[in-house]
């Protein structure tokens, strides 16, 4: 199987898993999180001279553990699923290890040392992708957390500001700056 076909195979695998009735979060995250996450990850990889293929594959697979097994330890379960799937596709061992490390280290909250540029890009794109899902974050505040409209406005603004403050690359600030500015114009009173 050619390299480009492997990326497409992995994308399709993630889409199929999100579509299954067993998906822990339904199909929603495919469009609202995976697609923008990979878009930003690929863009950062291209602009920063990282290994685009590793970043793209890791971007598609970084939350697969959440979808198939559940949120807890999804970096560990996801890395396992990725190793198995990529092994079946005959992807080179050392590249499987790079993808698995990106997945293992993608949770900023786990406070692990991220070593490679590819690993850092996955963490960064995970944060940036929230800026493409403001409606989903509002829905979570209003529906899941049952906040009032004003509480939701404040909590969404706080969440996006935290995401912005966590960004580590100037490239991502350039990329997402206008969206963060728009959030502040619309939500800060």
Q: Does 63 bind Fe ion (CB under 5 A)?
A: yes
Residue 45 or residue 153: which is nearer to Fe ion going by CB? 45
Residue 85 or residue 153: which is nearer to Fe ion going by CB? 85
Q: Is 37 helix (H, G, I), strand (E, B) or coil?
A: helix
Q: Which of 120, 155, 130, 131 is CA-nearest to residue 141?
A: 155
Residue 126 or residue 132: which is nearer to Fe ion going by CB? 126
Please identify which residue in 51, 56, 124, 126 interacts with Fe ion, judged by CB under 5 A. Answer: 126
Shortest distance, CB of residue 128 to Fe ion, whole angstroms?
11
Q: How far, in Å, are 10, 11, 101, 143, 167 from residue 83 at the CA level?
A: 12, 15, 10, 36, 28
Strands in 96-143 per DSSP E = none
Residue 6 or residue 123: which is nearer to Fe ion going by CB? 123
Q: In whole angstroms, what is the distance from residue 45 CA to residue 47 CA?
A: 6
Strands in the chain per DSSP E = none
Shortest distance, CB of residue 154 to Fe ion, whole angstroms?
24
Q: What are the φ and ψ backbone dihedral angles of 72, each rounded to 5 degrees?
A: -60, 130
Shortest distance, CB of residue 37 to Fe ion, whole angstroms?
6
Shortest distance, CB of residue 122 to Fe ion, whole angstroms?
9
Residues at the site binding Fe ion, with contacts judged by CB under 5 A? 63, 126
């Amino acid at each position: 199987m050619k390299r480009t076909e492997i990326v497409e195979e992995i994308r399709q695998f993630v889409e199929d898993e999100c579509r299954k009735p067993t998906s822990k979060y339904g199909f929603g995250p495919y469009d609202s999180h995976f697609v923008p996450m990979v878009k930003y990850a690929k863009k950062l990889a291209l602009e920063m001279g990282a290994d685009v293929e590793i970043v793209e594959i890791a971007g598609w697979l970084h939350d697969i553990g959440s979808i198939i097994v559940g949120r807890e330890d999804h970096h560990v379960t996801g890395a396992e699923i990725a190793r198995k799937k990529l092994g079946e596709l005959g992807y080179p061992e050392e590249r499987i290890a790079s993808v698995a490390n990106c997945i293992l280290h993608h949770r900023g909250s786990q406070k692990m040392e991220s070593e490679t540029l590819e690993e850092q890009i996955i963490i960064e794109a995970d944060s940036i992708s929230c800026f493409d899902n403001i409606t989903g974050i509002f829905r979570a505040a209003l529906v899941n957390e049952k906040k009032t409209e004003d509480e939701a406005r404040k909590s969404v603004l706080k969440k996006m500001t935290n995401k912005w403050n966590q960004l580590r690359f100037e490239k991502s600030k350039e990329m997402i700056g206008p969206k963060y500015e728009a959030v502040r114009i619309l939500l800060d009173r």
